Structure 1
């Protein structure tokens, strides 16, 4: 598995395993540990989390499983996010659905994540969403303190547009190392709004969430889904892929910014498919067939 260097102390696997739906997998701690080890054996060493996943339960569940095997944590890169709040039985102090990127909240969230994961450091922490009240001086203060304490080694953002990324970056002592954005053949927004261009300019390697468009590439019945599925099936036959999700991952991996797709499946066979995709090579004709299907109109 190819490793992608994000900073002088962080390399991540080209394919990332996402744990957004971890609680839906209904695994015991022992079963989850075995699953994580199977994923690791495939070369996937980076695990993506967020404090809110699983109604604020996924981090703790993962930490309990990881704690069953000493030494495994040091072989993994743990990514988590903070900044979103919503009312929950697991967070009774949250009064409403809002964003909070205050220094106090970032630090409190990281402290809780460290406790949940049963670790003394996090490899990468992201601001989960753009907060319209984001004060970059407060974010910079929190990042500086957490890094100086050795609690967080690297920082990034998620769902930031170019101006927002540059604005926050300008306040930081250590630059942002990634932007986790939605990328799929059914979501071409960041090919067209300058985000991926900025990632290339800054030599920042992006992460891609929902690369399968929440399953719409398999089951969507809208016009765009049908167009894209037809194109993916055409290319699947041409390259000899097992299924169309492998074609999607190969399509994303072809972009020169070195996008790292997040595979959020609890099915080991689906994860193996994503790994196989790293060996698939699409032609430009095949890549643009999928791209144009996603656009719905030909390129100019």
Structure 2
């Protein structure tokens, strides 16, 4: 599988496995360990987490599985996110829901994530959501300390728009640090990141894109949904033409974009993973890509 260079220390697999719903899988550590090995055998080595997933449980579930094969760590890139605080957070116990981008919270969150994941460093740390109270100097201070301590190998953001990215990026660059990844919602159904220019802005600065919900949370397959039905009226014949699944065509559509878009899969079904991997071998024509694009827009391009 192709790799995407994040910085001089880290590269990601072109397809990424996400663990947002790992708690719902109700797997034993042995079952999850087997799945991790199956992923690695297919070249999927980048694992996406967040401290809050499963109400702060999913990192621990992963850590218990990884403990069964500690040598597997050498083959993995482990990503996690922080900055969202839920009620009864184990890091910062509060009664409400808010964002916390303070240096102290970021450092405490990383320490807890490392403990839960049972690893000694993160290959990438992302700020999960932008905050109207974000002080870029606080984030920079935390990151400088984490890098110096060897706890973080690369840094990124998630769901940041252009102005939010620019604010933080400018502060980091002054300290010779930089944002390497922006995790955004991108799919044939959800074109906001393409239409509002944030993907182009990231491409300009060589910031890679992790695409969450590449299948729009399953909405793409809801044929009662008029927009999904329009998109699938293009995707389905293409799947037949290339003798693959619709899932594969979606991967191919994302992969054709020049901005190194890496879909984050939420499935625990290895056959669905295989379908996505097949999509990397399909090269859609420009016309096929635009047919899907305009079906999502709901109108022809000018």
The TM-score normalised by the length of structure 1 is 0.97
Task: Kindly report which structure 2 residues correspond to 1:217-236, keeping only aligned pairs within 5 A, or say none.
Answer: 217-236=220-239
Deviation at 1:233, TM superposition (A): 0.6
Contact 1:55–1:88 (Cα < 8 Å) also in 2: no
Match of 2:70, SS state, is: coil
Give me the whole-angstrom Cα distance separating, in 2, the residues matched to 1:47 and 1:96.
29
Contact 2:180–2:206 (Cα < 8 Å) also in 1: no
Q: Given the alignment, which residue of 184, 189, 199 partners 1:186?
A: 189
Give me the whole-angstrom Cα distance separating, in 2, the residues matched to 1:258 and 1:92.
36
Task: Kindly report which structure 2 residues correspond to 1:25-44, keeping only aligned pairs within 5 A, or say none.
Answer: 25-44=25-44
Q: Given the alignment, which residue of 238, 252, 255 partners 1:253?
A: 255
Moved more, 270-279 or 211-220: 211-220
The reply on whether 1:285 has 2:287 as its aligned counterpart is yes
Which structure 2 residue ranges, 5 or more long, are not aligned? none
Contact 1:217–1:229 (Cα < 8 Å) also in 2: yes
The reply on whether 1:297 has 2:290 as its aligned counterpart is no
Task: Kindly report which structure 2 residues correspond to 1:19-98, keeping only aligned pairs within 5 A, or say none.
Answer: 19-88=19-88, 93-98=93-98
Moved more, 212-221 or 107-116: 212-221
Which structure 1 residue ranges, 5 or more long, are not aligned? none
Q: Give the ranges of 4+ consecutive aligned residues of structure 1 lying more than 4 Å apart after TM superposition.
A: 88-92
Give me the whole-angstrom Cα distance separating, in 2, the residues matched to 1:135 and 1:90.
23
Deviation at 1:245, TM superposition (A): 1.0
Give me the whole-angstrom Cα distance separating, in 2, the residues matched to 1:153 and 1:192.
31
Partner of 2:137: 137
Give me the whole-angstrom Cα distance separating, in 1, the residues matched to 2:301 and 2:43.
37
Deviation at 1:236, TM superposition (A): 1.2
Partner of 1:200: 203
Match of 2:156, SS state, is: strand
Moved more, 189-198 or 132-141: 189-198
Contact 1:59–1:117 (Cα < 8 Å) also in 2: yes
Instruction: Report Cα offsets for 1:21-40 as digits up to 9, x if no partner.
Output: 11111110011000100011
Partner of 2:162: 162
Instruction: Report Cα offsets for 1:246-278 as digits up to 9, x if no partner.
Output: 111110010001111111101000001111111
Q: How many residues align?
A: 299
Q: Given the alignment, which residue of 213, 216, 226 partners 2:216?
A: 213
The TM-score normalised by the length of structure 2 is 0.97
**RMSD, aligned α-carbons:** 1.2
